Amino acid sequence: MKKENKSVIIWLLSGCVLLFLMVVVGGITRLTNSGLSMTDWHLVTDTFPPLTDAKWNEAFEQYKKFPEYQKINIHNDFQLADYKFIYFWEWFHRFIGRIIGLVFFFPFVYFLIRKKLDKSTIKKCVVLLAMGGFQGFLGWFMVRSGLIDNPDVSHFRLSLHLTFAFITFAYTLWVALDLIYPEKTITKVIPLRNIARYALVALLIQIIYGGFVAGLNAGLIHNHWPLMSDGEFIHDSVFIEQPTLVKNLIEGKSGVQFVHRTFAYVVVAFILFLYYKSTKFSLSRTQSNGIKTLVVFVFIQFALGVFTLLYSVPLALGLIHQIMAFFLLSAMTFTLHRLSK
């Protein structure tokens, strides 16, 4: 790591931490059904929550006009105190998003003026800023889907919002790693790099389906392992919820859960295969440690997924499972970077 890059690296890693925090809070927001509590979006006036009783009552009355209250919470003796709870998590999620925007934009301008960024890093940072703006749009796009007729957001939009947050985090980490390891002295291990790329794609597919499961509340059914309900590997409901097989696998609760629980084996297999093949090569310490960390993390994540399913997605387990996915993606990004540079 070059000394002149230290402040830029700290900036990028700070962004990674904030992105991680935002996804964690986003997970809490989803698991507590808080995502539709703020029915409008204003860049400045929504920066802070209502500060007076009159403003709280105004926000609550506005919330009552939308499907989540009219079709669900009106039957649950839902009071202002309940509304304040769900409002907090959605507000906090959006507030962190604003902080991320400030943390990325203003230091970028400062580093640009002070000429601390080379041309390559400038281009990467511009991409990061664009990704951040697009992520904000995806959040609005997702919430809007739950404010029209259906009192829940589209699981497609939720998964897109979640997955793009993971991708933004991974790319931010990659840019930081480019600066941490500027000298390309490590011999590329092409066969291992290619396996790691496939493993990354498999992991992203699994994250996408994790978003589908969350969006459809598909973790609340078939709470058995290693088989689904009735002792079946593929339960009959996988094929009958939707009119076609494809729709069952992307829109049916049973089908989506089946893909997510089964594809976990594929992710584990890719990482174990990567580890097995790595024993045939002489690797640097960072390369070897990255692969070993991947193996440990994927087994922890697999176990967390099983227990989250068996206990019907309690808040703590569901959140830890999502956090571990972040750690797994971090290890995957680091390992692929070390095998590629």
User: How far, in Å, CA of 131 to CA of 136, rounded?
Assistant: 9
Nearest of 158, 152, 153, 140 to residue 211 by alpha carbon:
158
Contact 154, 194 (CB under 8 A): no
SS3 call for 38: coil
For 219, the token pair is: 């973790």
Establish whether the linkage from the previous residue to 226 is cis, with ω within 30° of 0.
yes
Is 75 annotated as contributing to ligand binding? Answer: no
H or E, element range at 255 = helix 253-278
Is 222 annotated as contributing to ligand binding? Answer: no
CB-based contacts of 92: which residues, under 8 Å, 6+ apart?
Answer: 25, 29
Burial 60-77 (b: 16+ CB within 10 A, else e): beebeebbbbeeebeeee
User: How far, in Å, CA of 124 to CA of 171, rounded?
Assistant: 9
Q: If you search the block for the tokens 């919430």, which residue do you land on?
A: 143
For 188, the token pair is: 């590329």
Annotated binding site: 260, 321
Residue numbers belonging to the annotated binding site for heme: 260, 321
